A and B are shown apart, each in its own frame.
Chain A
Amino acid sequence: MSVKHSLLALLERGPAYGYQLRAAFESATGSTWPLNIGQVYTTLSRLERDEMVEALPENESGQRPYRITEAGKRHLAGWFASPVRAADRPRDELTIKLALAVTTPGVDVADVIQRQRAATLRTLQEYTRLKADDSADLAWKLVLESMIFRAEAEIRWLDHTEAVVARAELPAPSPFGHYEPDPETSAPLEEKR
């Protein structure tokens, strides 16, 4: 998640100071990604160093609002114009877990899948409840929809994986060839071949 670009996008609405930016970010994303105020200020000072925002004079209550610069606007437009690459997303623990589950002896893959499915479905139920609240604003609803689609995709993938695994009649995964070689019989690899 890019704090830098999020702040630029919020500043595009007009000058704002740190606390306002944090509040606006959280109202747009329904506090899905809590942002601490320290993060906001470090990011703002980096953006200022890079001349993408500029600090305005302090107001009467002692807060310093920031304003987006032309360079900041160009940078933001570039961000909106470029798709998010798969490589920029975090590695998916669930995919790795299942890939290992099917190759680890003694793991009940169907059970791993069912536990995950039940948990993800529960999360999906919770998102749906939140979405059903008509007072939610558009940005928050979009975030919720995105999480619902993701949960749905994950469950479909689990269903699919379960069917594939059931059909595959897993052969027992073979132990690693180099594990605990017997010094008596072990010979250089070339000779063994």
Chain B
Amino acid sequence: MTVLHLRGVSRVHGDGENAVHALVNAELSIESGELVAIMGPSGSGKSTLLNLAGGLDAPTSGEVIVEGTPLSTLSKKKLAALRRRHVGYVFQDYNLVPSLTAAENAALPLELDGMGVGKARKAALAALEEVGLDAQIADRFPDEVSGGQAQRTAIARALIGERRLVLADEPTGALDSTTGEDVLKLLRKRCDQGAAGLLVTHDARHAGWADRVVFLRDGRIVDSSTPLEKPESLLEGAE
């Protein structure tokens, strides 16, 4: 089932001589269970693509379709609800709310969606534990934790609840290589359980966890790989 479909999506900032074509006529669709990596040099439009996919920005032309619904047809309120319930987002700069503790940050999507505080906290603690953060960290504020811990909190927030679409923009920037790997495994697991994932990364090692890789250059998709076959057939090849 197609979870995300970008149909001829373009995003232009400004106009006339100063127009910046951040994304040009992007075609991309992601199935449930798939993890797709986006790679490309700085300024090539990776974050732009992700923001459009998550409904945080609107295309200048083309259509973003999430689980069959064109985002342009949704009211502001409905779009916000879709983002809260179905889309998990890890921003390039984590974007934690400074006045909330790590656990409160992670619980935020659930609480906004009407879940009781106690229940949401329980889910948040479990999500934090999944990214390797214990109860002690859970009650600290973003400025009281390390960069890597803040990043893991942001990941817990993105994965909490039942996200059908997980968007991650350089989610491993502040993490050492093994912690970064754990985060990728987590993302991989979510996708194996049926979510669709879109991962922006500079790091080929992390793109290695994806099923497909899309290459961006100056706002255009210049190349994209076909999905990797099932692991069994790989092992046969290695014998």
Contacts and interface: CB of A to CB of B under 8 A. Distances in A.
Asked if A pairs with B, the answer is yes
Given A31-B238, A124-B208, A132 B185 contact: yes
Contacts of A126: 228, 234
B42 to A, nearest CB: 10
Interface string A124-158: 11111110110000000000000011011001100
Given A31-B238, A31-B239, A129 B231 contact: yes
A130 B225 contact: no
A19 B212 CA distance: 40
Interface residues of B, number: 23
B231 A130 contact: yes
Interface residues of A, number: 26
Contacts of A133: 231
Contacts, number: 62
Q: SS class of chain A's interface: helix, strand, loop or mixed? A: helix
A156 B215 contact: no
Given A129-B234, A133-B231, A118 B204 contact: no
B225 A121 contact: yes
Contacts of B222: 114
A46 interface: no
B231 A148 contact: no
Given A31-B239, A129-B231, A130-B234, A124 B188 contact: no
Contacts of A151: 204, 208
Interface of B: 39, 41, 185, 188, 203-205, 207-211, 213, 215, 222-223, 225, 228, 231, 234-235, 238-239
For the complex of A and B, the 6 pairs showing the least CB-CB separation, nearest first, are: A128-B208, A155-B204, A124-B208, A152-B205, A129-B231, A152-B204
